[in-house]
């Protein structure tokens, strides 16, 4: 009954009976129990709002989306984007905090996460006691317990310094995920993978990362490393997990430093440190031949990486996501032309995400709502304060 109500908007008891297959008495009992818990509100009946003319008027209900809040956080290395949303995932407040990456010890990271959560709650006019669920995305593998494995230089532990255990001290439902996995959640819920059961989302900014959904399920692996990209170190023509944004910038700067940019070119007299991949893409879009050669190189790289995922996971779709995705239309065009020569299986559809830099944060909110819906009825007395206050 709760699953139906969460999706239904305003509904009447007969709608609930038809959707759940419950008898009238059982359906009414379930609805009344959800009202007592504080998850549903009863509205004026159909006759009172002019929607019913004969016989016994139907009772009308809706989910109390304001009964509690959920929090979704994109906890990147250099930023924390925190969104407070209602139970349907509608944002109430969102804030981004830039971090000093030279101060990323475990204690500093935990303190920053808590400060960002509290600040976003204040902006939303809520407090910790109103929070039902939190989902945090981090740039590290995360297993089903919310833990990250050891990394050779400790980076994964610094990005996820037992965040789940810290948040569970006061949040009833806590979920930790890899950031690319949350981008995949977002694409499946509100993006380019709606209705698709087998897809890979490739975060392509500073470093490549992947979120994998197969048979409609998010794939993590034993240690959360199903989408970890260190394997690209061993792929001919790729050789590292450095992302598309950094690659484009690096290739252009290397060419400038080596004197390979043609005389008279718009970038010929620009200091290498001032050349960016975004500028190269803009020049290529304007028809610049030299910039076009950089785009060809980037397209070949994207085709090779897409082929790796096409061969390993057999997805029907590969979605390139992140802030850089919106600028990669020409790169994707080149990659699409090359992909058939890179894979033996059916060629996956290669598409660009429209969610931009907010894909991880959007996925975190979607995942928090999903976890809240799955777990709220199991909380009992440990649920947030507002669930017991029917209004």
pLDDT reported for residue 48: 55
Query: Do the Cβ atoms of 244 and 205 come closer than 8 Å?
Result: yes
CATH topology of domain 2-63: Arc Repressor Mutant, subunit A (1.10.10)
The rounded distance, in Å, linking the Cα atoms of 299 and 40 is: 51
Can you give the residue ranges of every domain in the chain?
2-63, 69-190+359-388, 199-354
pLDDT reported for residue 336: 98
Cα-Cα-Cα-Cα dihedral sign, residues 294, 300, 303, 307: negative
Question: For 109-112, which contacts have Cβ atoms below 8 Å and span 24 or more sequence positions?
Answer: 109/158, 109/159, 109/161, 109/163, 110/161, 110/162, 110/163, 110/166, 112/80
Tokens 């809520």 locate to 126
CATH topology of domain 199-354: Nucleotidyltransferase; domain 5 (3.30.420)
Q: What are the average pLDDT values for consecutive 10-residue runs of the chain, which has 391 residues?
A: 94 94 94 94 73 67 96 96 97 96 92 97 97 97 94 91 97 97 97 97 91 96 91 92 94 95 94 94 96 97 95 96 94 98 94 95 98 92 55 38
2-63 and 199-354 share one fold: no
Look up the pTM and report it: 0.90
Angle, in degrees to the nearest 10, between helices 179-190 and 359-375: 80
Query: Do the Cβ atoms of 361 and 85 come closer than 8 Å?
Result: no
**CATH superfamily of the domain spanning 69-190+359-388:** ATPase, nucleotide binding domain (3.30.420.40)
pLDDT reported for residue 56: 66
């Amino acid at each position: 009954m709760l699953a139906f109500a969460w999706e239904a908007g305003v509904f009447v008891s007969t709608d609930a009976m038809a959707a759940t297959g419950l008898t009238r008495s059982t359906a009414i009992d379930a609805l009344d129990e959800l009202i007592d818990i504080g998850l549903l509100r009863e509205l004026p009946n159909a006759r009172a709002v002019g929607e019913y003319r004969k016989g016994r008027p139907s009772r009308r209900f809706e989910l109390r989306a304001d009964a509690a809040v959920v929090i979704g956080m994109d906890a990147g290395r250099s930023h924390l984007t925190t969104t407070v949303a209602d139970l349907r995932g509608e944002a109430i407040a969102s804030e981004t905090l830039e971090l000093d990456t030279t101060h990323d010890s475990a204690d500093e990271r935990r303190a920053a996460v808590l400060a960002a959560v509290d600040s976003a709650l204040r902006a939303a006019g809520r407090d910790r006691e109103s929070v039902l669920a939190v989902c945090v995305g981090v740039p590290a593998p995360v297993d089903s317990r919310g833990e990250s494995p050891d990394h050779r230089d400790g980076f994964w532990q610094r990005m996820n310094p037992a965040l789940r255990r810290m948040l569970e001290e006061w949040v009833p439902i806590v979920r930790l995920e890899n950031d690319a996995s949350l981008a995949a959640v977002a694409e499946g819920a509100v993006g380019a993978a709606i209705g698709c059961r087998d897809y890979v989302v490739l975060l392509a900014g500073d470093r490549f990362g992947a979120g994998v959904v197969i048979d409609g399920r998010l794939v993590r692996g034993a240690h959360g490393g199903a989408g970890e990209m260190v394997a690209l170190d061993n792929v001919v023509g790729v050789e590292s997990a450095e992302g598309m944004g950094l690659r484009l910038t690096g290739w252009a700067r290397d060419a400038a430093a080596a004197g390979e940019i043609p005389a008279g070119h718009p970038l010929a007299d620009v200091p290498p440190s001032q050349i960016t991949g975004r500028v190269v893409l803009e020049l290529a879009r304007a028809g610049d031949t030299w910039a076009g050669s950089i785009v060809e190189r980037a397209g070949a790289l994207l085709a090779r990486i897409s082929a790796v995922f096409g061969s390993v996971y057999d997805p029907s779709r590969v979605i390139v996501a992140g802030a850089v995705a919106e600028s990669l239309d020409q790169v994707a065009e080149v990659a699409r032309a090359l992909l058939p020569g890179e894979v033996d299986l059916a060629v996956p559809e290669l598409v660009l995400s429209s969610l931009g830099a907010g894909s991880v944060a959007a996925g975190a909110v979607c995942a928090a709502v999903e976890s809240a819906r799955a777990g709220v009825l199991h909380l009992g007395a440990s649920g947030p304060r507002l669930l017991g206050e029917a209004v």
